[in-house]
Structure 1
């Protein structure tokens, strides 16, 4: 019963976190422009967040292994709220960058710690279900967040940031009162070599690489799809709203209802490979779409495939980490995910002006290479192996 309550609290926590993240998406560009920024400034501001997460997610994850999940999760939520307040109060561009840096540093404690918490309270057989539910919570947040942010933006560019701050701080209160510590005893700190010296020899390195490739492909898609749809099919905000709503529904249904059943029947590795195949086919076919229906079908393939991948990779990383390294392992995975979100938009923006199809061809090549990695370099990962 206590584990069910913890799962429910974490579901609500990640749902509210992603609502807060999504709320600011429609208004952040306008806020940057209002401070005499440019599209390049906006791109750098967005990248700053992922850069901070790249460096700090493994550190927070490792710290949660030593002192517990609950204090790190609370710190991440409170810091997330304070960073939104800084955004709302910002009157100059440099203040926006300070707020974004603070958000990237402190909020990067939230996701890896929440996923490590799931690993603490679930067994190997149920871990995919837990990871899938957390992915569904984040997907739901990203459906409702931007819509709410667009509505709140009518009352001023700063207003959505204050609402997001309130959600984060209320979230911290809920976590404080309702979420118990998942680690039963303090962990003994084992002296290890610096991370950089061990990373390439880490048994999970291929899984981290898969996480990077998936994130890179998704970031390519997210950073160019609106322009691609407008340039090729003449889509406007209405059509884009329909597409993203459909993709959001597929994401939630896949992660909440399909992932666990598929893993139990076919295994983690088979689900990851299937997700890569489906995602690569959908990604490659996007450039052939000539109308709304075709675009919905192909982007839905990509969405379903990528929705199978993230919980699957997270689950396998967790299964192949000993209990006192869960936070660090998930944190490193999130770091590789952040690296994909840094390089994906930069690559997409650079090649899109050369050829509108280029981001999708590059993404397809990366996903096909990921299929090769998953099929030929993951045999060491048994369903119950712990490294």
Structure 2
């Protein structure tokens, strides 16, 4: 990697860290803030989904725009808009405004990740590229560790304080990004056009079981994230500080499993078995949460859930890459689209059915995972050596 790009890479890593801090910082306090504004579980689900809906539609737009006008301006737009929307959160005095600002935040913050990845691809090659992409992923994982913990701590004093803090952090980094991020796009691609993400024919794709697997993974995770704060508050009396600690523990668990354990597990068992075991662990964890009689066992259930989730995430992507019969990029794009749909539907369904019964989202989550294994588990396999399209 060229030395002049080391500082820009550090800035990109910091930007992605801040984006995920901002995403996670709202999780411990959001149910309490929405309740204060007169909303309930469905309003919480709508708030969470608004972000993912905007990301689903606008991430491809920002990626194409960066091909046209350059990486630097799109990254600066995303970072500045992200910071401003957090200040708007803090000033929102009613639910419709809060949800509208959440949608706006998803729209502008979605400019950061695809553009940051394109920027990294511009300045790196070969092994350096894989390493730099890994650093972006690690930064995002750490953001999800510190974000909820920070939100829980600050939310103890004021529900709006975490928003102002996250916005200040983003705007603090903005002048450094302005000064230290040179443009890397050598020639604009004025013919960049959108790719079709989803179409009915995808059902016939040999990878369709893996696409459904990712939808179920994202759906159940989003349903858990959007209801667990309410569930824990009602079940064991957790407030913002306790929830911040819980989500910090979950984040650390994810970093340890994905960063230290999953490689060893995959080398021994392949990708398919850990993916299916992860789905089973998540189903068990949902039922565990329904049974947990005290705070300690409740938190332990969330750890089991995150271990299972951390087995599913990297192995699912790897299986798509190894089993793709066409372009890996196109297959992974559809795979991620199914994940986006899960992150949209999960909070809406979870928030809606939580109002019927606090246990219902977890029963539905466990049943969805088990049904996915029953109907698609046999088709989720490692590609045998010697088959076409295999990645060694």
CA distance in 2 between partners of 1:271 and 1:181 (Å): 41
Count of residues in correspondence between the two structures: 380
The alpha-carbon distance between structure 1 residues 229 and 317, as it changes in their structure 2 partners (threshold 3 A), is: same
How big is the shift at 1:376?
A: 0.7
How big is the shift at 1:104?
A: 1.8
Q: 35, 50, 53: which is aligned to 2:52?
A: 50
Which residue number corresponds to residue 301 of structure 1? 304
CA distance in 2 between partners of 1:211 and 1:43 (Å): 20
Output the TM-score relative to the length of structure 1. 0.76
CA distance in 1 between partners of 2:57 and 2:224 (Å): 24
How big is the shift at 1:216?
A: 0.8
Contact 1:118 1:131 in 2 (8 A): yes
Determine if the alignment matches structure 1 residue 220 to structure 2 residue 223. Answer: yes
SS in 2 for 1:141: helix
How big is the shift at 1:19?
A: 1.7
Which residue number corresponds to residue 39 of structure 2? 38
Determine if the alignment matches structure 1 residue 142 to structure 2 residue 183. Answer: no
RMSD of aligned residue pairs (Cα, Å) = 4.2
Structure 1: gaps (5+ residues): none
Which residue number corresponds to residue 84 of structure 1? 86
SS in 2 for 1:246: helix
The alpha-carbon distance between structure 1 residues 302 and 205, as it changes in their structure 2 partners (threshold 3 A), is: same
How big is the shift at 1:345?
A: 2.5
Which residue number corresponds to residue 255 of structure 1? 258
The alpha-carbon distance between structure 1 residues 333 and 93, as it changes in their structure 2 partners (threshold 3 A), is: same
SS in 2 for 1:83: helix
CA distance in 2 between partners of 1:46 and 1:346 (Å): 8
Please list the CA deviations of residues 40-77 of structure 1 after superposition, one character each: whole Å capped at 9, or x if unmatched.
54443333222222322333344446665554333322
CA distance in 1 between partners of 2:231 and 2:104 (Å): 33
How big is the shift at 1:217?
A: 0.8
Please list the CA deviations of residues 237-296 of structure 1 after superposition, one character each: whole Å capped at 9, or x if unmatched.
365455433222211212222334445555554543443343333334433433445434
Contact 1:11 1:134 in 2 (8 A): yes
Which residue number corresponds to residue 287 of structure 1? 290
Which residue number corresponds to residue 212 of structure 2? 209
The alpha-carbon distance between structure 1 residues 246 and 197, as it changes in their structure 2 partners (threshold 3 A), is: closer
Contact 1:131 1:315 in 2 (8 A): no
Please list the CA deviations of residues 8-43 of structure 1 after superposition, one character each: whole Å capped at 9, or x if unmatched.
444322221122233344555565566x54225444
Determine if the alignment matches structure 1 residue 384 to structure 2 residue 386. Answer: no
> What are the residue-to-residue correspondences of 1:1-387 with 2, within 5 Å?
1-2=1-2, 8-28=10-30, 32=34, 36-39=37-40, 40-64=42-66, 69-91=71-93, 93-115=95-117, 121=124, 127=130, 133-153=135-155, 157-178=159-180, 189=191, 194-197=196-199, 200=202, 206-232=209-235, 234-237=236-239, 240-263=243-266, 266-314=269-317, 326=329, 333-352=335-354, 354-371=356-373, 373=376, 375-376=378-379, 382-384=389-391
How big is the shift at 1:300?
A: 1.6
Output the TM-score relative to the length of structure 2. 0.75
How big is the shift at 1:306?
A: 0.9
CA distance in 2 between partners of 1:268 and 1:259 (Å): 9
Structure 1 range deviating more: 52-61 or 352-361: 352-361
